[in-house]
Copies of this chain bind each other. A is one copy, B any other.
Amino acid sequence: MSVFDFDATPARITDSFARQGLMRTLGATLEKVIEGEVRIAATVSPRSAQQHGVGHAGLTFSLADSAAGYAALTTMEEGFEVVTSEFRISLLAPARGRLVATGRVIRPGRRLIAVAADVHGDDGAHVATALGTMVPVAAT
């Protein structure tokens, strides 16, 4: 059971997330949205694995990047979206089981937003840590 309260989350975030094909493809779910922090989870499956059944770095990155991007979005006015400008991820441990990515805003801004993200595994493993830059763009 998720404690995520969809009713309290800005529709622009739940709507945007629901339209992200890759998040659906990876089986990702929005777990938490508060000002400046967003949590996204997904369970490693054969479809998101590398050659040994461990989660592909691309899965871990996708969760971390999306969590950080939505965290940035929570700090912005209506009428904007964000795109990733650059993202740097360190992969610290094999990605197994259910992964939880927590993105947060380090420094908000009108021109660029400094973000960070961490990904943890079921077993408490610190799977990845990341720093990135998000850029606001007018929503279309």
Interface residues of A (CB under 8 A from B): 16-17, 19-26, 45-52, 56-59, 61-62, 65-66, 81, 83-93, 106-107, 111-112, 114, 116, 126, 129-131, 133, 135, 140
Contacts and interface: CB of A to CB of B under 8 A. Distances in A.
B131 A51 contact: no
B112 A135 contact: yes
Given A61-B65, A62-B62, A133 B21 contact: no
A71 to B, nearest CB: 14
Copies in the complex: 4
Given A52-B140, A106-B129, A112-B112, A58 B22 contact: yes
B126 A57 contact: no
B65 A57 contact: yes
B61 A87 contact: yes
Nearest to A58: B62
Most chain B CB inside 10 Å of its own CB: which residue of A22, A45, A126? A22
A58 B81 CA distance: 17
Contact of A50 (B21, B57, B129): B21
